Protein backbone atom coordinates (compact mmCIF):
# COMPACT_ATOMS: atom_id res chain seq x y z
CA UNK A 1 0.00 0.00 0.00
CA UNK A 2 1.42 3.35 -1.07
CA UNK A 3 1.02 6.23 1.40
CA UNK A 4 0.40 9.62 -0.20
CA UNK A 5 1.17 12.68 1.89
CA UNK A 6 -0.94 15.69 0.97
CA UNK A 7 -0.79 18.89 2.99
CA UNK A 8 -2.97 21.92 2.26
CA UNK A 9 -2.17 25.42 3.49
CA UNK A 10 -5.64 27.01 3.60
CA UNK A 11 -4.10 30.34 4.64
CA UNK A 12 -2.43 30.56 1.19
CA UNK A 13 -5.32 31.03 -1.25
CA UNK A 14 -4.06 31.03 -4.84
CA UNK A 15 -7.43 31.61 -6.48
CA UNK A 16 -11.11 30.77 -6.47
CA UNK A 17 -13.91 30.22 -8.93
CA UNK A 18 -17.43 28.93 -9.30
CA UNK A 19 -16.69 25.37 -8.20
CA UNK A 20 -13.99 25.73 -5.57
CA UNK A 21 -10.88 27.33 -4.14
CA UNK A 22 -7.22 26.66 -4.97
CA UNK A 23 -4.66 26.61 -2.17
CA UNK A 24 -0.92 26.15 -1.89
CA UNK A 25 0.10 22.70 -0.71
CA UNK A 26 2.57 19.85 -0.91
CA UNK A 27 2.13 16.36 -2.37
CA UNK A 28 4.74 13.88 -1.16
CA UNK A 29 6.95 16.87 -0.35
CA UNK A 30 6.63 18.58 -3.76
CA UNK A 31 4.88 21.98 -4.08
CA UNK A 32 1.42 21.73 -5.67
CA UNK A 33 -1.80 23.64 -6.14
CA UNK A 34 -4.72 21.98 -4.31
CA UNK A 35 -8.25 22.60 -5.54
CA UNK A 36 -10.98 22.06 -2.97
CA UNK A 37 -14.47 21.50 -4.35
CA UNK A 38 -17.58 20.92 -2.25
CA UNK A 39 -18.66 17.29 -2.48
CA UNK A 40 -22.23 18.39 -3.27
CA UNK A 41 -21.16 18.88 -6.90
CA UNK A 42 -20.29 15.21 -7.62
CA UNK A 43 -21.23 15.36 -11.32
CA UNK A 44 -19.12 18.48 -11.87
CA UNK A 45 -16.20 16.88 -10.01
CA UNK A 46 -16.41 13.79 -12.23
CA UNK A 47 -16.47 15.88 -15.43
CA UNK A 48 -13.52 18.01 -14.30
CA UNK A 49 -11.58 14.92 -13.21
CA UNK A 50 -12.09 13.18 -16.57
CA UNK A 51 -11.10 16.32 -18.47
CA UNK A 52 -7.90 16.80 -16.48
CA UNK A 53 -6.90 13.14 -16.81
CA UNK A 54 -7.11 13.41 -20.61
CA UNK A 55 -5.06 16.63 -20.79
CA UNK A 56 -1.34 16.38 -21.39
CA UNK A 57 0.29 19.71 -22.22
CA UNK A 58 3.25 21.66 -20.87
CA UNK A 59 1.01 24.65 -20.06
CA UNK A 60 -1.70 22.65 -18.25
CA UNK A 61 -1.47 21.63 -14.60
CA UNK A 62 -1.29 17.81 -14.30
CA UNK A 63 -3.87 16.07 -12.11
CA UNK A 64 -1.99 13.92 -9.59
CA UNK A 65 -4.77 12.56 -7.36
CA UNK A 66 -8.38 13.00 -6.28
CA UNK A 67 -9.55 12.34 -2.74
CA UNK A 68 -12.30 13.26 -0.30
CA UNK A 69 -11.48 15.12 2.90
CA UNK A 70 -11.69 13.16 6.16
CA UNK A 71 -14.95 14.95 7.04
CA UNK A 72 -16.36 14.46 3.49
CA UNK A 73 -16.96 18.20 3.11
CA UNK A 74 -14.52 18.57 0.20
CA UNK A 75 -13.12 16.62 -2.72
Provide the 8-state DSSP code for 29.
T
The annotation status of 35 as a binding-site residue, yes or no, is: yes
Three-state SS for 10-28 is: EEEEEEECCCCEEEEEEEC
Distance CA 43, CA 75 (A): 12
Residue numbers in the known binding site are 35
Residue numbers in the known binding site for ATP are 35
Amino acid sequence: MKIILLQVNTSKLLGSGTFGHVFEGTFNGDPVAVKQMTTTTAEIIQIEMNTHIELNHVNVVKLLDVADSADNNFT
